[in-house]
Amino acid sequence: MTQLEFTTGRTYDAPQVLQITVTQQTTDEWGIVDFTARFVDASRHISGQVTTIAFSPDRIGQSVLAAYDAGQYSPL
């Protein structure tokens, strides 16, 4: 499992920093990452799980945020 923090630049109750744990991950020959991750947003008191893609491993945080913003997550 990979863990990371993603600072969004937004502020709600506090600055929004997503605590992300990648639970499954595969990378294809072009570097596209297909993954499942759990996230905790302490500033909004929301946690969830997403399954999505990122165009490189360093874009996982942005991909989690995009899925979260679109409501494409399962609450935990």
- Spans of all domains in the chain: 2-75
At residue 1, the pLDDT reads 85
Rounded to two decimals, the pTM is 0.95
CB 33 within 8 A of CB 24: no
Q: For the residues 5-9, what does the mean pLDDT come to?
A: 98
Q: How confident is the model at residue 39 (pLDDT cuts 50, 70, 90)?
A: very high
CA distances from 72 to 14, 67, 68 (A): 23, 5, 6
pLDDT at res. 65: 98
Query: Over the stretch 40-55, which tens digit does the pLDDT of each residue have?
Result: 999 999 999 999 999 9
Q: Is the pLDDT score of 31 beyond 90?
A: yes
Rg of the chain in Å (alpha carbons): 12
Contact 18, 9 (CB under 8 A): no
CA distance 34 to 13: 31
Q: What is the pLDDT of residues 61-74, one digit of tens each?
A: 999 999 999 999 99
Give residue for tokens 């600055």.
Answer: 15
